[in-house]
């Protein structure tokens, strides 16, 4: 089983690239954002708690996310691997993922990182908010909080995975097709 982590700032195109990668390589796409939005839409207790945090630009607690991911892995056995989108976002989450996979006799295959300057992150998130009607992406201060949180909590994962020789970086400023082609080189 292969396990890829799609990494990059909010608005880097992880969701778009994940759909193409999942289809081409028979990977199950696990988007923690989509999982949480489904819970919010259903109005579950978890969804309501998550909505408050997400609308303020904050992360949902690790134990909730990890439980959802573990269930997803166990329920999807007819794929060649998994593509994590939006997880892990912190070193403790990465360590938890390593433990979860080790218990299965497996490990993360590779980190596929889409790099993008902050100015493009703002532009893309605001554009996405208009197209998809995502309320959590409409306010400048919330977008800035998401970018700051990414830099402070998520970017340390770069060194974490570089030490494991699993980190691969792709320039995210090109077209969707160019970025996909470059990511695919690392998946092959």
Model confidence pLDDT, tens digit, residues 112-168? 999 999 989 888 888 877 787 777 677 788 888 888 988 888 889 999 999 999 999
Contact 113, 168 (CB under 8 A): yes
pTM value? 0.81
CATH number for the domain running over 2-187:
3.40.50.300
d(CA 149, CA 86): 13
Report d(CA 130, CA 153) in Å as an integer.
27
Share of residues in the chain with pLDDT > 90 (%): 46
Query: Where are the domains positioned within the chain?
Result: 2-187
Lowest mean pLDDT among 65-69, 172-176, 184-188: 65-69
Express each pLDDT in 13-37 by its tens digit: 888 999 999 999 999 999 887 878 8
Asked if the model's pLDDT at residue 63 lies above 80, the reply is no
- Using H for helix, E for strand and C for coil, what is the string for 25-38? HCEEEEEHHHHHHH
Token digits for 140? 């400048």
Angstrom distances, CA of residue 52 to CA of 45, 58, 163: 11, 9, 35
């Amino acid at each position: 089983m292969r396990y890829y982590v799609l990494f990059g700032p909010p608005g880097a195109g992880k969701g778009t690239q994940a759909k193409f990668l999942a289809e081409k390589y028979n990977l199950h796409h696990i988007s923690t954002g989509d999982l949480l939005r489904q819970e919010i839409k259903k109005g579950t207790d978890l969804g309501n708690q998550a909505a408050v945090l997400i609308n303020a630009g904050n992360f949902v607690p690790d134990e909730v996310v990890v439980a959802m991911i573990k269930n997803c892995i166990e329920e999807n056995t007819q794929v060649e691997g998994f593509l994590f989108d939006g997880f892990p976002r912190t070193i403790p989450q990465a360590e938890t993922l390593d433990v979860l996979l080790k218990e299965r006799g497996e490990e993360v295959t590779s980190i596929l990182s889409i790099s993008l300057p902050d100015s493009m992150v703002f532009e893309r998130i605001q554009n996405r908010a208009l197209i998809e009607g995502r309320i959590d992406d409409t306010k400048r201060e919330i977008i800035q909080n998401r970018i700051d949180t990414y830099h402070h909590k998520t970017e340390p994962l770069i060194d974490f995975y570089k030490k494991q020789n699993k980190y691969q970086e792709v320039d995210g400023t090109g077209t969707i097709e160019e970025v996909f082609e470059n990511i695919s080189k690392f998946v092959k």
